[in-house]
Chain A
């Protein structure tokens, strides 16, 4: 066995997006020697693409806002399937996390009185999203990146070494989490540039790897989103929950083909943009679901008044939660009322003066002008749903972000539970900071609690990881023709898009499971050319295994849930079913009989019941639309309710 590059640290954070960097900052602040590993260059993680803003009930624009209102909106958006404790911590701590960014040097847009400005967004009762034009993610990641640098400078002053306490391993991919008797012992990966392997010896690993969108054909997500963290968690013995819930953002670009899926931020609607069909009708008025009738205007006049007088008018239905808007657009297109390239029209040009559009939505203006020859100050955009976010992820303890595998933590998009069946816009960036910090704390506390009892990496496991990584160079496969990773990836994306997409049916999903099985078999025969130095074909071959595993979880969980809720819509079960509200579907890898490959198993569990004081934040009548009677007996008004 050849020598391998080794790094012994206390905490390895996999991912340098908002969640990973915030976790690393916290772990380092607790005295942990910390490594951050990421597939891209430092400062380019997917978080950089976030546009609209970060949700935090600071009450800068509307003083009625507070964490309870934010909590309520989050639970409603998730159709009450959210892990309530996560939603509670998130709503309570988000303002502190945003203010903290200012101490790192962030510069948000300001209100008249010099505070952080907040904008309207779908599902949020008050203007709540702190933002910087429509490039909030860039501000977030740059501020965290610069704080990492600040900490490194402090280490340099103290130890003469920038990387004494916190080191970033950029363009490095982790392919395995290594265990010792069921506890985390380290991580194994390769440098993308050289193809050389690297071993991290560490008792704690924080997964902050983001999402899974690259398994779908039309997506707003980048190549990084191959579900690596989800797959690493499964293979280490952790469980994934809520995997059937995938968010399709209602507004992605639909034309030209090469940019199909690229996001059009929800701020366009928050700032006054409206959706119209080919007949020019603001069709969202036709799609207000029963449960939201009290909060959303049923006529244009009231909806338009809301922008200037939100206290006395109901909000425009364009700002319904994303799942509702995405389904409505889908239905309009299906009914033949779509735009020329198969979307609908999103118009802000007739709603705001050109200069105002350019000031508020600079990157949208730029994006459409550069990529589609459309001037959004003069003409409407064409938009349609695009795969955007996965609600499902690693099951974690809300307070510590720890999974059921000792030493394995998860935060950000890769973690599950916080958003229930549907995430509200702006609630991800805040989630990254709140739970990124908690994961850093959790990992530090865990490492401290170990004392001298540190797990040890077994060299046999390292060898195995190495063999797994090198398999695609293996030459001609024994049982079939050699496969090209790019071809398999395209086929996978088509399967997920067509069969487990925005509207689902049992026969299609069964077919998907079968096709995924077949793709899995073929993926074993993937052969790549060339050598290990910066070889994208090889990288994709390794990512493909993760995408297949995670796609199988999505398909199997979706098949199991026989209702429609949030990011899971079934043609054959169109109603929401209160029985299913308290059911959590968990995916895990179950070892088959000796020799056979491990397979994905889905099991059903009971949601932890909502704490009574949190139940009391809602009207009983509203809760009765979602909950079964026996779950509501702790509500303060239960005894006083009108009996039917």
Chain B
């Protein structure tokens, strides 16, 4: 059943690196991460790769396989023909640490800049009541495994590294949308405005809804349609509705 596959793996560090060629055994049912592990065990014990669950749940093993951003543990070898070269490179939008491992601290920094969930005043733990239909949308966004593939793919930072300063990327704009749509978040009640924040501080305006982020999301979250576009519409609402704009906070949700 097994066959010898031709792999090209990027090896190197922050300073320099190159694609190296390997012949490596592949068996039935395997995924790319299995093959990378076989390389580690048999040919290059110091090949650096991040992984954890090997079941598509932790979002550690992101890389680019034949140029496509994917999880290595969820990419079956059967999607390639036996004579196809499989090229594995680190995510391009983040600085390389070593081999397939990148420095993803940008994401953690952005996460820290978003005001957290603010519990509702006057409700004790255990008293929260929310209808399933009202939490569905935020739950969809909370399926995010933080693989950062969408961040890696979005052209706003992929092609312009400087934008990282003012653009938080689809994952974190979606996080703002998630909190904005959380039925019990009271950030707005205390004068905060998450939509304005998305626009002013997190670069929502950079997004020109190309949907590339949605395409690579291994959790199939409709990032653009369900999070970014509604967030943009709400911002527009908020800005151009002179009659209600300033007073309306959560009225559109009750």
Query: Which A residues are closer than 8 A to B by beta carbons?
Result: 40-44, 46, 48-49, 58, 95-96, 99-100, 102-105, 107, 109-110, 113-115, 132-133, 135, 137-139, 142, 146-147, 149-150, 152-153, 156, 162, 193, 222-224, 255-259, 262-263, 363, 366-367, 370-372, 484-486, 528-531, 533-538
Contacts of B47 in A (CB 8 A): 536
CB distance from A117 to the nearest CB of B (A): 8
Task: Known A107-B135, A138-B145, A255-B29; judge A96-B125 contact (CB<8 A).
Answer: yes
| Seed contacts A102-B128, A257-B30; 14 additional CB < 8 Å A-B pairs | A44-B59, A48-B58, A99-B128, A104-B117, A113-B129, A114-B131, A149-B116, A222-B53, A257-B27, A257-B28, A486-B41, A529-B45, A536-B40, A538-B46
B207 interface contact, C-beta 8 A: no
**In terms of DSSP, what is the predominant structure of the interface of chain B?**
loop
Smallest CB gap from A103: residue in B = B119
Is the pair A44, B58 in contact by a Cβ cutoff of 8 Å?
yes
**The 6 residue pairs across chains A and B that have the minimum distance between CB atoms:** A256-B29, A105-B117, A530-B46, A537-B45, A114-B129, A150-B116
Q: In the complex, A115 Cα to B127 Cα: how many Å?
A: 8
Contact across chains for A486 and B139 when beta carbons are under 8 A apart: no
CB–CB A105/B182 < 8 A: yes
Query: Which residue of chain A lies nearest to B97 when distances are taken between CB atoms in the complex?
Result: A193
B61 to chain A, nearest CB (A): 10
Q: Does B13 contact A (CB under 8 A)?
A: yes
The answer to whether B46 touches A262, judged by C-beta atoms less than 8 angstroms apart, is no
Interface membership of B130, Cβ < 8 A: yes
Encode B33-59 as 1/0 by CB contact (under 8 A) with A. Answer: 010000011000111111111111111
Given A40-B60, A105-B117, A536-B45, do A49 and B55 touch, yes or no (CB 8 Å)? yes
Nearest to B116 among chain A residues (CB) is A150
What residues of chain B lie closer than 8 Å to A256, measured between beta carbons? 28-30
Q: Which residue of B lies closest to A95 (CB)?
A: B126
Q: Looking at B28, B98, B125, which has the most chain A CB atoms within 10 Å of its CB? A: B125
Write out the residue numbers on chain A whose beta carbons fall within 8 Å of the beta carbon of B182. 105, 107
Q: Is B179 an interface residue (CB 8 A)?
A: yes
Cβ contacts B114-149/A at 8 Å (1 or 0 each): 011101000001101111100100110011011000
A138 close to B57 (CB less than 8 A):
yes
A48 x B57 contact (CB < 8 A): yes
Instruction: Tell me which residues across on chain A come within 8 A of B13, comparing CB atoms.
Output: 533
> What separation, in Å, do the CA atoms of A109 and B54 have in the docked complex?
26
Does B139 contact A484, Cβ atoms closer than 8 Å?
A: no
Interface size class of B (residues with CB under 8 A): 35 or more
Does the CB pair B125–A102 fall under 8 Å?
yes
Which stretch from B81-89, B104-112, B151-159, B238-246 is at the chain A interface? B104-112
A134 to chain B, nearest CB (A): 10
* B98 engages A258 (CB within 8 Å): no
Q: Give min CB distance, A488 to chain B, whole Å.
A: 11
Q: Judge if B74 is at the interface, Cβ distance under 8 Å.
A: yes
Chain B contacts for A46, CB-based, 8 A:
52-53
The residues in B between 196 and 232 inclusive whose CB is less than 8 angstroms from any CB of A are: none
Query: Could you list which residues of chain B lie within 8 angstroms of chain A, going by C-beta atoms?
Result: 13, 27-31, 34, 40-41, 45-60, 74, 76, 97-99, 101, 104, 108, 111-112, 115-117, 119, 125-126, 128-132, 135, 138-139, 142-143, 145-146, 179, 182, 185
Question: Which residue of the partner chain, among A132, A262, A363, contacts B142 with CB atoms under 8 Å?
Answer: A132
In the complex, the answer to whether A370 meets B46 with C-beta atoms within 8 Å is no
Query: Do A49 and B57 touch across chains, with their CB atoms under 8 A apart?
Result: yes
Q: Are A42 and B108 in contact (CB under 8 A)?
A: yes
Residues of chain A lying within 8 A (CB to CB) of residue B117: 104-105, 146, 150
Q: A42-B108, A256-B28, A484-B45 are in contact. Are A138 and B143 (CB under 8 A)?
A: yes
Contact call A40/B52, Cβ cutoff below 8 A: yes
Contact A537 B46 (CB under 8 A): yes
Q: Kindly list chain A residues whose C-beta atoms are within 8 Å of the C-beta of B52.
A: 40, 44, 46, 48, 222-224
A455 to B160: give the CA distance in the assembly, Å: 51
A257 touches B29 (CB 8 A): yes
Total contacts A to B, CB within 8 angstroms?
Answer: 164
Q: Which B residues lie within 8 Å of A162 (CB)? A: 112
Minimal beta-carbon separation of A58 from chain B (angstroms):
8
Q: A149 — nearest CB in chain B belongs to which residue? A: B112
Measured between beta carbons, the chain B residues less than 8 angstroms from A485 are 45
Measured CB to CB, the closest approach of chain B to A167, in angstroms, equals 12
Residue with the highest number of chain B CB atoms closer than 10 Å, among A135, A257, A367, A534: A534
Residue from A41, A135, A367, A533 in contact with B104 in the complex, judged by beta carbons closer than 8 Å:
A41
Pair A486/B45 contact, Cβ less than 8 Å: yes
A489–B50 Cα gap in the complex (Å)? 19
Question: Would A371 and B116 be within 8 Å (CB), given that A105-B182, A222-B54, A534-B48 are in contact?
Answer: no
Instruction: Give the interface centre of A46, A109, A133, A366 by most chain B CB atoms within 10 Å.
Output: A366
B60:A44 contact, CB within 8 angstroms: yes
Is B129 touching A115 in the complex (CB atoms < 8 A)?
yes
B131 touches A110 (CB 8 A): yes
Residue among B52, B54, B98, B185 with the most chain A CB within 10 A? B52
Name A530's closest neighbour in chain B (CB-CB). B46
Contact B55 A153 (CB under 8 A): no
State A259–B245 Cα separation when bound (angstroms): 53
**Within the complex, which residue of A99, A224, A484 is in contact with B126, where a contact is CB–CB below 8 Å?**
A99
State the Cβ distance, B198 to closest chain A Cβ, in Å: 17
| A107: contacting residue among B56, B59, B116, B142, CB under 8 A | B142
Check A258–B51 contact: CB distance below 8 A: no
A152 near B119 with CB under 8 A, answer no
Shortest C-beta distance, B123 to chain A (Å), equals 9
Measured between alpha carbons, how far is A213 from B46 in the docked complex, in Å? 23
User: Using Cβ atoms and an 8 Å threshold, which residues of chain B touch A44?
Assistant: 52, 58-60, 146
Are A371 and B53 closer than 8 Å at their CB atoms? Answer: no
What's the nearest-Cβ distance from chain A to residue B205, in Å? 24
The distance in angstroms between the C-alpha atoms of A363 and B46, with both chains bound, is: 33
B193 to chain A, nearest CB (A): 17
Residue of B31, B53, B104 with highest tally of chain A CB at under 10 A: B53
Q: B48 near A535 (CB under 8 angstroms)?
A: yes
Residues of A within 8 A of B139 (CB): 107, 109, 132-133
Query: Closest CB-CB distance, B1 to chain A, in whole Å?
Result: 10
What residues on A are CB-neighbors of B138 within 8 Å?
A: 107
Measured between C-beta atoms, what is the minimum distance from A268 to chain B in Å? Answer: 15
**Which residues of A lie under 8 Å from residue B131 when comparing CB positions?**
110, 114
B179, chain A: closest CB distance, angstroms: 7
Chain A residues in 8 Å Cβ range of B97: 193, 534
Distance in angstroms from B20 CB to nearest chain A CB is 14
A531 to B76, CA, bound (A): 31
A147 to B179, CA, bound (A): 14
27 A–B contacts, CB within 8 A, in A order: A40-B50, A44-B59, A48-B52, A100-B125, A105-B179, A105-B185, A107-B135, A110-B130, A135-B57, A135-B143, A138-B142, A149-B112, A153-B112, A156-B112, A193-B98, A222-B53, A222-B58, A223-B52, A255-B29, A257-B28, A258-B31, A259-B54, A371-B55, A372-B29, A486-B45, A531-B46, A534-B48
Hey, which chain A residues are within 8 Å of B98, CB to CB?
A: 193, 533-534
A370-B56 CB under 8 A given contacts A146-B117, A258-B30, A259-B29: yes
Q: Which residues from chain B contact A150 at a C-beta distance below 8 Å?
A: 116-117
Bound state CA distance, A146 and B179, in angstroms? Answer: 12
Q: Give bound CA distance, A221 to B214, whole Å.
A: 30
Q: Is the CB of B28 within 8 A of A223?
A: no
| Smallest CB gap from B147: residue in A | A44
**A40 to B129, alpha carbons, bound, how many Å?**
35
Min CB distance A257 to B, Å, is 6
Judging by beta carbons under 8 Å apart, are A49 and B129 in contact? Answer: no
Look across to chain B and name the residue whose beta carbon is closest to the beta carbon of A156.
Answer: B112
**Shortest CB distance A266–B (Å):** 16
Closest to B113 in A: A153
Taking CB atoms, residues of chain B closer than 8 Å to A147 are: 116
Q: Bound state CA distance, A256 and B146, in angstroms? A: 27
Answer whether A366 and B53 are a contact pair too, CB < 8 Å, given A142-B142, A149-B111, A153-B112.
no
